[in-house]
Structure 1
Amino acid sequence: MTQPPTALAGFVESTFNHDGYSHQVFTAGSGPAVVLIHEIPGLHPGVIDLARRLVQRGFRVYLPSLFGTAGAEATPGAMVRAIGRVCVSREFRGLTRQPPGATGWLRALARQAWADGGGAAADGPGVGVIGMCLTGGFALATALEPTVLAAVMSQPALPLPLGAGRASLGLEPREIGSLRERTAADDLRILGLRFTNDRGCPPERFSTLRQQFRDGFESIEIDSSPGNAAGIPGVGALRAHGQPRRRARPSHQAGARPHAGVPRRTPARAPTAGVSRVRSPWRVTPVRHRRPSAG
């Protein structure tokens, strides 16, 4: 264990190995586990800030550093280097689907997070996973691990939105079928967030999610049409009271509340300005996760 970077002060650093892949993991907090997967260019301060908010809300957060320099600022140069690394890496090979190397490692990390919370000794609470942009779809692929009870996909950008890829989830039919069975049994909930004008995360992808998972999927879509003041703002605007991205944040965080496991439907309420909901916000009922079967 080494001293974490300054931006990650208060987190405990470790190395997690699985199937030939090894990455740093930074952990903080106590309570139900959430695996928070960073975006391009890496584990930058904005992602760390979200992790700290989750810790404050009573979660134990696992921050894997899959690429880039942990704690470094998100700069154009860092983005170019990270994209190059992802494109040539064996672990992330194949941008037309969710990469099995990276998502297999993340599933193993989710299992470990579940065990750390006492799940291996008794039917402990399940795990939540949040993915962002390039890694948005990783959250869905990680939910193939049965200890994951909630997956949050923020602007899932893979597969690349070209041709048939616009509607693709990047998973095999049998994998989608497995996830569909879990959502139908109320053993998994999926939350997706996107900007309406985001070319990297086209509407066809969310249509596929609705078709495949029906009531097991909730979407939050923020109006980012040209000229809309509630569109894609700068970082400073995110702190403004009432800004739609800020108002969407509670659902983003609540969607990952894994100890809640089985969401319960509530009467629909009027959507916030600039935010379109396909289903009502989640309410949750505490449950314990069943121990996964052997194999």
Structure 2
Amino acid sequence: MTKRATQLSAYQKASFSAQTREGRSLSHDVYSRGLGAPIVLIQELPGIGQETLSLADKLVDAGHEVVMPHLFGPLGKISIGGNLARVMCMRKEFRLMATDASSPVADWLRLLCRQVRDTRGVDGVGVIGMCLTGNFAITLIGDDSVLAAVASQPAMPFFKQGALHMSPQEIASSRDALEAKGPMRVLRFEDDPLSTVEKSECIHRTFNDDAHERVKEIVLPGKGHSVLTLDFVDEAGHPTYEALQRVLNYFGEKLRAPLRQS
């Protein structure tokens, strides 16, 4: 019998506002639970549904605090078509087709990571981005506030799989950071139609071009998409289960719990 995920009513809720580099003020609710080393869990396109809440439970059970910003869509259920329409209308935050810069919401997420680091009194946080937000994890590892990052099925820009949703400056910052922090993790199914082989080759060409491994890719067999959520199978030995264990081991190596709780 599948265990029911901890619902958002059990989380602490706060609002976080910050300005992007373009001077626009963005504000979103942020849900947090747990007392360990903090991980900022960024929702994917389907939303913060039960599968994402189950992933949050696994992170908390592994000794982490989950900090989950609510960027769009209904809470507690998924809405792929509805959320895609919402995001397409959120042009001041998301630029789905951009190939030479992250979306402005990446600035807001960067400042959220800094706020979490500072208020928890830790050296840095972990980040998980998925699908629509997968590329944000690659961008955020370039900031001092982020010590470990996982990009699960990074897909943007959707129609230009041979490009990254990052500016040249962001790419350079992430390359430099990964030199010091060690390789981040990228997860994808080998036949994913949204996070394709072309995207994988682009990431390797951008970050692993000189035989220095800045990105460690974990490729799962099959044609799934959402490695840690909708396509996750909670059975020892299953490729998604083993991928999650590798992610948890990675965060366990890189992150430390706060000495004091605030």
TM-score, L = length of structure 2: 0.83
RMSD: 2.6
**Paired residue type of 1:7:** Q
- Aligned with 2:37 (options 32, 41, 46): 32
Equivalences for residues 79-90 of structure 1 within 5 A: 79-89=80-90, 90=92
Q: Which runs of 5+ in 2 are unaligned?
A: 1-5, 20-24
Structure 2 CA distance, aligned partners of 1:153 and 1:56?
21
Aligned twin of 1:46: 51
Q: Which runs of 5+ in 1 are unaligned?
A: 1-5, 119-123, 262-285, 289-295
Structure 2 CA distance, aligned partners of 1:141 and 1:127?
14
- Structure 1 residue 192: Cα displacement: 0.3
User: Is the counterpart of residue 168 in structure 1 residue 163 in structure 2?
Assistant: yes
Aligned twin of 1:141: 139
% identity of equivalent residues: 32
Aligned twin of 2:187: 193
SS state of the match for residue 67, structure 2? Answer: strand
TM-score, L = length of structure 1: 0.74
User: Is the counterpart of residue 244 in structure 1 residue 239 in structure 2?
Assistant: yes
Aligned twin of 1:220: 218
> What's the CA shift string for 1:175-219, capped at 9, x where partnerless?
1111111112x2253100001111211112222322333312100
- Aligned with 1:110 (options 87, 108, 113): 113
- Summarize the Cα distance change of 1:112–1:38 in structure 2 as closer, same or farther, 3 Å threshold: same
Divergent runs of 4+, >6 A: none
User: Is the counterpart of residue 11 in structure 1 residue 11 in structure 2?
Assistant: yes
**Paired residue type of 2:207:** F
- Aligned with 2:154 (options 144, 153, 156): 156
Structure 2 CA distance, aligned partners of 1:60 and 1:173?
32
SS state of the match for residue 10, structure 2? Answer: coil
SS state of the match for residue 94, structure 2? Answer: coil
Structure 2 CA distance, aligned partners of 1:99 and 1:178?
13
Q: How many aligned residue pairs are there?
A: 240
Counterpart contact for 2:102–2:166, Cα < 8 Å: no
Q: Which structure's relative contact order is higher, taking Cα pairs within 8 Å and 6+ residues apart?
A: 2
Structure 2 CA distance, aligned partners of 1:256 and 1:68?
28
Aligned twin of 1:181: 176
> What's the CA shift string for 1:18-66, capped at 9, x where partnerless?
1111111001111211000011221111111111111111111100000
Q: Is the radius of gyration larger for structure 1 or structure 2?
A: 1
Equivalences for residues 227-266 of structure 1 within 5 A: 238-257=233-252, 260=254
Counterpart contact for 1:149–1:188, Cα < 8 Å: no
**Paired residue type of 1:247:** E
Aligned twin of 2:64: 59
